[in-house]
Amino acid sequence: MTTPLAPPDEAGVAEAIRAAAAAREPLAIEGNGTKRALLRPVQAARLLSTRALTGITLYRPTELVISARAGTPLAEIEAAVAERGQMLAPEPPDTGAIFGAAAQATTGGACAQATVGGIVATNLSGPRRITVGAMRDHLLGIRFVNGAGEVVRSGGRVLKNVTGLDLCKLLAGSHGTLGVITEVTLKVLPAAETSATVTVAVPDLAAGVRALSAGLGSPYGVTGAALLPQGHGDLPGPVALLRIEDFASSVAYRTGRLREDLAPFGDVSLIGAAASVPLWRAVRDAAPLAARAEEAIWRVSVRPSAGPGIAAAAEAIGGRALLDWGGGLVWIAGPATEAAHQAVVAAAAAARGTFTLFRGPEPLRAAVAVLPEEPAPLAAIAARVKAALDPAGVLNPGRMRAGG
Amino acid sequence: MIALPPPKADILARRAEIVDALRAICPGEATISEPISLKPYETDGLTAYRQMPLAVVLPSTTEQVAQVMRYCHLNGIRVVPRGAGTSLSGGALPLEDAVVIGLMRLNRILEIDFDDRLAVVEAGVTNLGITRAVEHEGFFYAPDPSSQLACMIGGNVNMNSGGAHCLKYGVTANNLLGLRLVTPEGDIVEVGGAHLDAAGYDWLGLMTGSEGQLGIITEVTVRILRGPEGARAMLAAFKGTEIAGAAVDAIIGSGIIPVALEFMDKPCIHACEAFAHAGYPLDAEAMLIIEVEGSVAEQDELLARIKEICARFDPISMRVASTAEESMAIWKGRKGAFGAVGRISPDYLCMDGTIPTGELPRVLKRMGEMSDEYGLKVANVFHAGDGNLHPLIMFDANDPESFRKAEAFGADILKLCVEVGGCLTGEHGVGVEKRDLMTVQFKAHELDQQRRIKSAFDPGWLLNPHKVFPLADAAPAA
Ligand SMILES: Cc1cc2nc3c(=O)[nH]c(=O)nc-3n(C[C@H](O)[C@H](O)[C@H](O)COP(=O)(O)OP(=O)(O)OC[C@H]3O[C@@H](n4cnc5c(N)ncnc54)[C@H](O)[C@@H]3O)c2cc1C
């Protein structure tokens, strides 16, 4: 690839895309490239980066909104809202450890920072997703450049908006294949005063998911519900984690009630804020999975009660699992082989769920379907939607699916 | 009266044959063609607009919906989907040459799973019907439009409806997991499922709020939530709308997100009080209803914090409910607001723009001036936390000039909402009502982008073609 294009403004992005469309020369799209190794490798003449589009353009804490250009580091936004006691509620993961080696290689060793545009384009959410919604649920407005080089807006800077088709949702999670996001407006929420985690040492994963379901089905407002098959600290076996975040008095009251309610599931104990915060950061970033450099990583989403079955499938391929979202999100680390991939795909399909091959060596990612195939009528609509946004097919071709 | 696309003469001419074909798919009373029986389908919650359809079908299975869609697709017949017909933007308004597909017979609850916290229901199940089916275990379906007794989940999905409690629980889009739908070409597909965040394009998100433009939804998988231990409301009355607005900012700025935060202006307070005798302060310029959730002790603590914040804004009065009954009394006036305004003025238009909450004082002031200019009264009740306004413009439907003025006033309010950084509609949808205002919020090429996406689903523009997009060029965009 020749020198990356990193236009300093939206007009420059539009111009670059118009030129690429006119020449029918595909572009690989990225922010700082921290997730370049996600999904399929893109064959493109040039790289177009949003990294020079930076800066917070609007922040109104009392209106619960923040806008920033796509290349703004996520960390900068999180710091700005934290200063006003607020947060990006979906708790987007830091994939630095997962993709670390690969990302650093492409940036010449410097530790690249995830951009807000990249987080939106991949719709990645952390543990709090189970109760507050995904990244896409907090995306209020968007500006993007479509494959014809037109600047298009959707949504806005208000919390409620149903004006026209919701292109925010369509663009979130479209991995740069439908448009290049240039600016986003996100909903922010007050960060809780404090937090704590109830742990339950459970006999097996099925019991663990039942404990998480009991917690999520309680009136106590659980904001994180994960299951560590390999245990945690001095708890060797599977351990269920349930987080409460609120005002201090509420956290004390609610964790107390949860401990009583969850006692039938196993030995219960409490982790205070000081240890709870880093523990959930680790869960968010899938650190307990302890994936080795040569292993592939999958993210499987199923109904929570099907989670233990997916974890069993992971074990059958010689891998390990980490369960979040009440048991419904199963992170898997395992052998980076086609056979292992097909086993994960089959397990997800049997549970009528979804999967993403999150990390793997390039040949594997190029050879297999990294996302579930769509049924024919939907695939036909998808192809027409892609053409409606990117008529020349220049944006990240092949990123999500072969030939698409 | 808003313009509708000219009917296709050949379709009108083939009416008898079309009705026969539909009856072969939806036998007996499930196909309606008699004018007297079609009458209830000529309008929806926006009763100012009426149009009799070609025919109505009431399928009871997804397969029947698919057969009707395939037949209409092959024959170039327009289709208008309909749930309960409570749309306030004319979303379910028929066309003379269109078949209305009514989803009310698809009213089965297919699955309830408390462990996985979801319910699978057919599109014609009412919003409240879902909560009714799960409340014995303490669960509920969160989005709660005021029309929840009547409106159906399929309509909610297509309008992305909200409710009084969406400040905390989100709108319809945030409470869905999956859909089963029939494409305009008659294929049955499923998007999402019983799990979160299906990989691939977010069809679930795109379909939500698509106002019947992209497909017919026949089944919906919703998230169900466990209800809180309890909830309680308080009322705070202020000397000015600006002051009440500042109090709202201060509450949210303090890190509290109340489960509901409703705002009423003076005309609305008076209308509601005369109707419901809720004990609202008549000398107030603005009033807030604030609801919190949790255990009794938690409610006490939150209400005390909020009361302390409100006290800084020189309130005329504050009333904190100490029991569920007192809470209900506080809500009583608000819940009857539309009916109350209806008593002062039999006809009113309910607008639905959203503004950045910081713009509230400016917008209310300007709206007052417009009210004087147009000589029409307006009452305001809205979701203050999220800036979603509901100005109720009162007019006299027997006087065409009064209706014309009311529509012009409404359009001016919505233009103002866009001008201050907001949008045309927060939860009622564009429908036919705001269709021609779309150019105020979007540039021509942005509307074309949306049209091309509609074309990707509905190449023949047969599905609800007279809604959402300005008519002039609501043709297939190349
Ligand atoms: C008194 C009153 C109070 C209201 N309060 C609120 C409120 O608080 N919040 C709020 O958001 N709204 C409110 N509304 C508006 C209205 O109730 C909502 O928009 C509701 O979601 C419409 O549901 P419905 O079943 O009546 O749909 P309909 O009015 O029948 O249809 C709505 C739209 O969806 C399409 N449609 C319906 N079903 C399907 C389907 N299965 N597949 C494809 N397309 C479909 C129709 O073509 C139409 O465009 C209120 C209305 C009234 C009359």
Per-residue pLDDT tens digits for B195-235: 999 999 999 999 999 999 999 999 999 999 999 999 999 99
Residue B29 Cα, gap to closest chain A Cα (Å):
31
> Would the CA dihedral through B126, B131, B134, B140 be positive or negative?
positive
List all residues whose CB is within 6 A of at least one atom of ligand 1. Answer: B 44-45, 80-88, 91-92, 103, 123, 145-147, 151-152, 154-156, 158-159, 161-163, 211-212, 216-217, 338, 427-428, 464
**The pLDDT value given to residue B478:** 38
Tell me the C-alpha distance between A85 and B256, whole Å: 11
Write down the CATH number for the domain with range B9-102: 3.30.43.10
| CATH of range A194-284; options 3.40.50.1470, 2.115.10.20, 3.40.50.300, 3.30.70.2190 | 3.30.70.2190
> How many CB atoms within 10 Å of residue B343?
11
What pLDDT digit, counting tens, does each position of B437-452 carry? 999 999 999 999 999 9
Q: Do A321 and A288 meet the contact criterion of CB atoms below 8 Å apart?
A: no
Strand partners, A372: none
Domain residue spans in chain A? 10-190, 194-284, 287-367
State yes or no: pLDDT of A396 exceeds 90: yes
What pLDDT digit, counting tens, does each position of B298-321 carry? 999 999 999 999 999 999 999 999
Q: Do B236 and B261 meet the contact criterion of CB atoms below 8 Å apart?
A: no
Domains B231-339 and B345-419 agree in fold: yes
Which chain A residue has its CA at the smallest distance from B224's CA? A217
> Would the CA dihedral through B231, B234, B240, B246 be positive or negative?
negative
Contact call for A165 and B183, based on CB within 8 A: no
Contact call for B166 and A160, based on CB within 8 A: yes
Torsions phi, psi of A355, nearest 5? -145, 160
Reduce the DSSP state of residue A285 to 3 states and report it.
coil
Domain spanning A287-367, CATH architecture: 2-Layer Sandwich (3.30)
State yes or no: pLDDT of A244 exceeds 90: yes
**The pLDDT value given to residue B121:** 98
What pLDDT digit, counting tens, does each position of B64-103 carry? 999 999 999 999 999 999 999 999 999 999 999 999 999 9
State yes or no: pLDDT of B158 exceeds 60: yes
Residue nearest to atom 13 of ligand 1 (CA): B145
Contact call for B196 and A325, based on CB within 8 A: yes
Cα angle B244, B250, B255 (rounded to 5 degrees) comes to 140
The answer for residues whose C-beta is within 8 angstroms of residue B478's C-beta and 6 or more apart is none
Torsions phi, psi of B385, nearest 5? -60, -30
Buried b (16+ CB within 10 A) or exposed e, A53-63: bbeeeebbbbb
Tell me the C-alpha distance between B210 and A381, whole Å: 15
Strand partners, B118: B113, B223
Locate tokens 């201090």: which residue?
Answer: A248
DSSP at A226: E
Q: Which atom of ligand 1 is nearest to the CA of B126?
A: 25
Q: What share of chain A is helix, strand, coil (3-state, %, to 5)?
A: 40, 25, 35
Tell me the C-alpha distance between B242 and B358, whole Å: 10
Torsions phi, psi of A200, nearest 5? -130, 120
| CATH of range B231-339; options 3.40.50.410, 3.40.50.970, 3.30.70.2190, 3.40.50.2300 | 3.30.70.2190
The answer for residues whose C-beta is within 8 angstroms of residue A378's C-beta and 6 or more apart is B189, B191, B203
B298 interaction partners in chain A (CB closer than 8 Å)? 249-250, 253
Test site for ligand 1: of B159, B217, B428, most ligand atoms within 8 A of the Cβ:
B159
In this prediction, residues A239-263 reach a mean pLDDT of 98
Instruction: Provide the chain A residues 51-110 that lie in CB contact (below 8 A) with chain B.
Output: 60-65, 85
What pLDDT digit, counting tens, does each position of A327-386 carry? 999 999 999 999 999 999 999 999 999 999 999 999 999 999 999 999 999 999 999 999
Which chain B residue has its CA at the smallest distance from A302's CA? B195
**The pLDDT value given to residue B202:** 98
Residue nearest to atom 14 of ligand 1 (CA): B147
Contact call for A382 and B187, based on CB within 8 A: no
Write down the CATH number for the domain with range B345-419: 3.30.70.2740
Instruction: Provide the chain A residues 332-391 that lie in CB contact (below 8 A) with chain B.
Output: 352-356, 371-372, 374-375, 377-378, 381-382, 384-385, 387-389
- Exposed, middle or buried: residue B286 (CB in 10 Å: 0-12, 13-18, 19+)? buried
Strand partners, B100: B56, B80
A219 interaction partners in chain B (CB closer than 8 Å)? 138, 226-229
Reduce the DSSP state of residue A134 to 3 states and report it.
coil
Domains A10-190 and A194-284 agree in fold: no
Helix axes B296-311, B241-253, angle to 10 degrees: 130
DSSP at A5: B
**The pLDDT value given to residue B361:** 87
What pLDDT digit, counting tens, does each position of A258-308 carry? 999 999 999 999 999 999 999 999 999 999 999 999 999 999 999 999 999
State yes or no: pLDDT of A102 exceeds 80: no
Q: In percent, how much of chain B has pLDDT > 70?
A: 98
**The pLDDT value given to residue A377:** 97
DSSP at B262: E
Q: Which two tokens stand for residue A163?
A: 């004006």
Locate tokens 């880093």: which residue?
Answer: A278
- Tell me how far CA of residue B325 lies from CA of B232, B233, B234, B328, B332, in angstroms: 9, 10, 12, 5, 10
Instruction: Provide the chain A residues 151-210 that lie in CB contact (below 8 A) with chain B.
Output: 152-154, 156-170, 172-174, 178, 189-191, 193, 210
CATH topology of domain A10-190: 3.30.465
Tell me the C-alpha distance between A336 and B240, whole Å: 65
Tell me the C-alpha distance between B255 and A133, whole Å: 19
In this prediction, residues B119-140 reach a mean pLDDT of 98
Return the half-sphere exposure (C-beta side, CA atoms, 13 A cut-off) of residue B316: 17
Residue B359 Cα, gap to closest chain A Cα (Å):
10
Sheet of B260-265, strand order: B317-320, B231-238, B286-293, B260-265, B378-383, B391-395, B347-350
Contact call for A156 and B256, based on CB within 8 A: no
Tell me the C-alpha distance between A403 and B368, whole Å: 57
Q: Do A158 and B360 meet the contact criterion of CB atoms below 8 Å apart?
A: no
**The pLDDT value given to residue A2:** 67
State yes or no: pLDDT of B346 exceeds 90: no
Cα angle B59, B65, B68 (rounded to 5 degrees) comes to 100
Nearest CB to B297: which of A253, A377, A389?
A: A253
State yes or no: pLDDT of A18 exceeds 90: yes
Which chain B residue has its CA at the smallest distance from A85's CA? B255
State yes or no: pLDDT of B329 exceeds 50: yes
Q: When comparing pLDDT for B205 and B337, which is higher?
A: B205
Could you give the ipTM of this predicted complex? Answer: 0.97
B255 interaction partners in chain A (CB closer than 8 Å)? 85, 190-191, 193
Q: DSSP string covering B179-243, please? A: EEEE-TTS-EEEEE-SSSS-SSS-HHHHHTT-TTSS-EEEEEEEE-EEPPS-EEEEEEEES-HHH
The answer for residues whose C-beta is within 8 angstroms of residue A238's C-beta and 6 or more apart is A201, A202, A203, A204, A205, A207, A208, A227, A228, A229, A230, A231
Write down the CATH number for the domain with range B109-226: 3.30.465.10
Gap from CA of A136 to ligand 1 centroid (Å): 23
Q: Do B417 and B161 meet the contact criterion of CB atoms below 8 Å apart?
A: no
Q: Which two tokens stand for residue B325?
A: 């009954």
Contact call for B197 and A303, based on CB within 8 A: no
Residue of A158, A323, A373, A395 to mutate, testing the B interface (most B Cβ within 10 Å of its Cβ): A158
State yes or no: pLDDT of A312 exceeds 50: yes
State yes or no: pLDDT of B477 exceeds 50: no
Gap from CA of B138 to ligand 1 centroid (Å): 26
Mean pLDDT over the full length of chain A: 95
